[in-house]
Amino acid sequence: MSTSDRISRRRALATGAGVLGAGLLAGVPGAGRAQADTGGDAYWHLRVNLAGYRAKTARIGDVNFSYREGPANGPALLLLHAQQMDWFSYSRVLPALAASFHVFDVDYQGHGTTTTSTDYPMNANRIGADLASFVESVVGRPAFVTGNSSGGLLTAWLAANRPDLVKAAILEDPPLFASEYPRIMKTIAYRDFASSAKAVAQDIQDFLLFWISDNEEFITQNVGDGAAAALTAAIKAQRLLVPGRPVEIPLLTDDTIRLFVRGMDYQYDPRFGEAFYDGTWNSGFDHATALAKISAPTLLMHANYSWVDGDILYGAMDQNDADKAMTYLPHGTYKRVDASHVTHLDKPQDFIDTLTGFFTQA
């Protein structure tokens, strides 16, 4: 078979699988037309490029960092995404932030196209120390820092352990206390981390498809009946059509779920989640101790949460966790936000206004 025949066959197979995936997804509640109000992910890739962001890499010890850097239009701003996502989760806010800040949007270790050695220790102390070296070497000056979820924990680590590098911090719905043992066992995230642990134990090479299979109940509840099979078909189709690029499934209309899928496509290192599952990620990183050490002005953003199965936390923190965190922060401000966990995706303008207002006054 000639090269052109193989390409034609690949495209035909992809088209068939794509039609199957689209047809199945069109029939489930959490899917439908692509994001008509925003133009979809392609639109945001274009907006980010037009705003002056460029893809760059930097070697720091055992880590080859991948990041997007914006134009130098103000003070340095470091963005640390949520676990199982990548730099693109900030795409909805990057163009606006470029007007007032010099943005560094980093894929931290275990995520995106940042790479590490196979024996790299996935724990807060090592990851945080290398991120601090990134700020020193690449950013080159103290920065405003904001992080979501696990990125919020890393923001707290930086503010606590390298106060010389952090001018002010925003902790965007971090799992403070709830991701420490034994609390973590009563969170919905623990079930997700169990998938990471199984993937590592079984030496799974395609984590995204494994995760979909292992979390079919979650996908059914959040997308709809038959969505797992539809997602699998659509992912395989897109990989055939545009190999080597993380998948973006337009018919998944929920931004958070769609970019969560993107972040796991050949990018996410399940050893990161495994470290939360076995507790080693927080080894030597006590949340209360770290918060008490933070001297910079710090805003704690607390998103919506709920309970499933009676006592399982669906979210990053409950109110007790947030209240406890505020008792430790010496210069803390609390903000309850009516948004889902990845607030910069769910309510981007609110996030932009909050970040700009807080860092301008800090």
pLDDT at 35 over 60: no
What is the residue-wise DSSP string for 312-357?
EEESS--HHHHHHHHHH-TTEEEEE-SS-SSHHHHSHHHHHHHHHH
Distance CA 124, CA 286 (A): 10
Task: With CA atoms as reference, report the closest residue to 186 among 343, 320, 326, 325.
Answer: 320
* Sequence-distant (≥ 6) Cβ neighbours of residue 12 within 8 angstroms: none
Q: What integer pLDDT is reported at residue 352 of this predicted model?
A: 98
Q: What integer pLDDT is reported at residue 24 of this predicted model?
A: 34
Average pLDDT over residues 61-70: 97
pLDDT at 315 over 70: yes
Q: What integer pLDDT is reported at residue 18 of this predicted model?
A: 35
Query: Any idea which residue has 């948004």 for tokens?
Result: 339
pLDDT at 21 over 60: no
pLDDT at 6 over 90: no
Does pTM surpass 0.85? yes
Could you read off the pLDDT of 77-110 as tens digits, one per residue? Answer: 999 999 999 999 999 999 999 999 999 999 999 9
Encoding tokens for residue 235? Answer: 């992912």
Please, which residues bridge with residue 271 across strands?
none
Encoding tokens for residue 273? Answer: 């989640």
Could you read off the pLDDT of 273-286 as tens digits, one per residue? Answer: 999 999 999 999 99
Question: Assign residue 310 a region: left if phi > 0, alpha if psi is -120 to 50, beta otherwise?
Answer: left
Could you read off the pLDDT of 115-135 as tens digits, one per residue? Answer: 999 999 999 999 999 999 999
Confidence of residue 5 (pLDDT cuts 50, 70, 90): very low
Q: What integer pLDDT is reported at residue 221 of this predicted model?
A: 84
More confident residue, 26 or 233: 233
Q: What integer pLDDT is reported at residue 7 of this predicted model?
A: 41
Average per-residue pLDDT in the chain? 90
Q: What integer pLDDT is reported at residue 133 of this predicted model?
A: 98
Could you read off the pLDDT of 259-313 as tens digits, one per residue? Answer: 999 999 988 999 999 999 999 999 999 999 999 999 999 999 999 999 998 899 9
Confidence of residue 70 (pLDDT cuts 50, 70, 90): very high
Task: With CA atoms as reference, report the closest residue to 155 among 258, 291, 267, 2.
Answer: 291
Question: Assign residue 9 a region: left if phi > 0, alpha if psi is -120 to 50, beta otherwise?
Answer: alpha
Could you read off the pLDDT of 94-103 as tens digits, one per residue? Answer: 999 999 999 9
Q: What integer pLDDT is reported at residue 202 of this predicted model?
A: 98
Task: With CA atoms as reference, report the closest residue to 231 among 218, 204, 130.
Answer: 218
pLDDT at 334 over 50: yes
Q: What integer pLDDT is reported at residue 224 of this predicted model?
A: 86
Task: With CA atoms as reference, report the closest residue to 78 among 138, 15, 127, 9.
Answer: 138
Average pLDDT over residues 40-50: 96
Distance CA 74, CA 52 (A): 14
Could you read off the pLDDT of 141-197 as tens digits, one per residue? Answer: 999 999 999 999 999 999 999 999 999 999 999 999 999 999 999 999 999 999 999
Could you read off the pLDDT of 204-243 as tens digits, one per residue? Answer: 999 999 999 999 988 888 788 999 999 999 999 999 999 9
Task: With CA atoms as reference, report the closest residue to 283 among 126, 178, 154.
Answer: 126
Average pLDDT over residues 36-56: 87
More confident residue, 28 or 213: 213
